[in-house]
Amino acid sequence: MPVGKSPDEGQHAVNPPSQLDEGEVASVTKPEQRCLCKTTEVVVAGKDVRSGGRNSCFFGYLDILGFKDIVKQNSFDQLKDIVRDFTVKCAEALDKSRCIGATRVNFESSVHARIVSDSIYVWTENDDRLTQFDDLLHIVNALLVSGFQQGLPLRGVVTFGELFLGSVKIPGDIALDFPFDNGSVYGRALVEAYELESQMDWSGVLLTPRAWAKVVGEFERNSKAEERAVMRSGNIKSATDLFNHFPYLLWCEVPFKGGNKRKTIAFNWNYKPYFELSAEKIRKAFIERCAVVNDTVRVKLNETLRFYEYTQRVTELCDFGLMKWLPVPDPDYVLATIGNA
C-alpha cells in the first residue's frame, strides 16, 4: 500500500516560495491568465522549475506480491537480507537498463525511483519529453525482471497525472522537541495506479489510457513541429512505431480478478531481459517464499506464465522481422476506462 501522509493542500499556503529554504518543495495554486481554471505547480525554492517541473508526470507504482507473508515467515535479520539483496539487484537492473547490447548509453535521466516498504515508486521529472517516457519504460521492465530474479514478483501500473513529492515546511512558531519527518507522496496519479494495481491477477505492469493519451499527444505535437521523436529505441515517426519498432510494450489481454480480462497496454518484461528468465524461474519466484500455495497464488502464477509464453511468440516474430504483425492499441484506447479507477 502507498506509504506517506496526505496533508491538506491548503496548508502549503502558510509558506510562500519566497520564505522556503533552498531545495524545499511546495505546491502553489494560481489562476491561469487566459481562463478561469486553476493550475498547480511544483516550486523548488532557489530554482526556477516552471519551465518543466510541473507536478504532472508519468508515474509508476509497483507492489511486491506476497510481501506480508515474507515478513511473517522470516526473522528480522533474514528480512533485512531479503530487502538488501532485492534493492541491490534492482540497482543492478537499472544500471543494465542504461545499456544497449554491450554499449553503455550515456545520457542524463530525469526518472526517479524510490522503494518504500513493499512498494516501488518511479516517476519522471518533466512531463513533456518522450525520452523520459522511453527511459521509464526500460526502467520498469528492468524492475520486473529483477523481481523474478529475487523471488519477489512485482505488479504495477504506469499512469500520467498530478503528483506531489516533498515535505511541508513547519512554521517556526511551532516548537517541536523531536524529529518530525513529514515527507509526503500523494496525488491523482498515485491513487489511480494504486487502485488499478490491486485489481490485477498476475505479475506485470499495464499502461493506462491516460498515460498512452499523453504519449500520443507528444507524438502529435512533435509531428506538427516537423520533428522526429528520438528515443533510445530509435527514431519514432508515429505512435504505432512505438509498438512496431521495438516491442517493449504489448497490446494484449491483461488478467483482472474475478476471471476478467481486458485489452490494455502491457509492459513486455521478457523482451531483451536484463537477467536470464525462464518459466521455471518465474514459477520459483511465486512458490519458493510462499507458506501455502493456494488457488490465489496459482491463478497469478498461471496468468503470468501465460503472458510469458505469449512474449516468447512475440520474440519469434521479432527475430523474423515481423514486428508489423503485432497488434497495436485500438484508436479509442485513450478514451477507455480500466477497472473501477
Mean pLDDT, residues 15-35? 37
For residues 171 and 26, give the distance between their C-alpha atoms in angstroms, rounded to a whole number: 13
Determine the residue type at 280: E
Range in 170-174, 318-322, 323-327 the model is least confident about = 318-322
User: Could you tell me the sign of the dihedral formed by the alpha carbons of 33, 41, 216, 200, in that order?
Assistant: negative
Fold of the CATH domain 56-335 = Alpha-Beta Plaits (3.30.70)
For residues 186 and 197, give the distance between their C-alpha atoms in angstroms, rounded to a whole number: 16
- Across 144-241, the runs of DSSP E, i.e. the strands, are 154-162, 164-166, 184-186, 205-207, 229-231, 234-236
For residues 7 and 12, give the distance between their C-alpha atoms in angstroms, rounded to a whole number: 9
Query: Where are the chain's structural domains?
Result: 15-54, 56-335
For the entire predicted model, the pTM comes to 0.77
Q: How confident is the model at residue 15 (pLDDT cuts 50, 70, 90)?
A: very low
State pLDDT tens for residues 254-272.
999 998 999 999 999 998 8
State pLDDT tens for residues 34-80.
333 333 333 333 232 222 334 788 999 999 998 887 888 778 888 88
**What is the 8-class DSSP label of residue 125?**
S
Would you say 231 and 239 are in contact if contact means Cβ atoms under 8 Å apart? no
For residues 317 and 328, give the distance between their C-alpha atoms in angstroms, rounded to a whole number: 14
pLDDT at 27: 37
Residue-averaged pLDDT of the chain: 76
Helix axis angle, 279-287 to 130-149, nearest 10°: 70
